[in-house]
Amino acid sequence: MITYESMKMFLVTFAFESLVILIAVAFIYNIYSAVRGIVRMVKRHRDKQKALDKIIEQA
């Protein structure tokens, strides 16, 4: 039989677990965004270096 106390406990547990999962997803997404930004920065640096090498080669 479902009682008020068991239902309340279930809702509190469910809310807490949902909050933990949302925080974990946000944390993982932030790490993913940071890594993506670093990769983009490295690619840009590499492209600039190639362009600079080409200019030096032509001179």
Indicate whether 1 pLDDT > 80: no
Of 58 and 31, the structure prediction assigns the larger pLDDT to 31
Indicate whether 59 pLDDT > 80: no
How many whole angstroms separate alpha carbon 43 and alpha carbon 5? Answer: 57
pLDDT tens column, 17-48: 999 999 999 999 999 999 999 999 999 999 99
How many whole angstroms separate alpha carbon 2 and alpha carbon 11? Answer: 13
Residue count of the chain: 59
- C-alpha 15: how far from chain center: 23
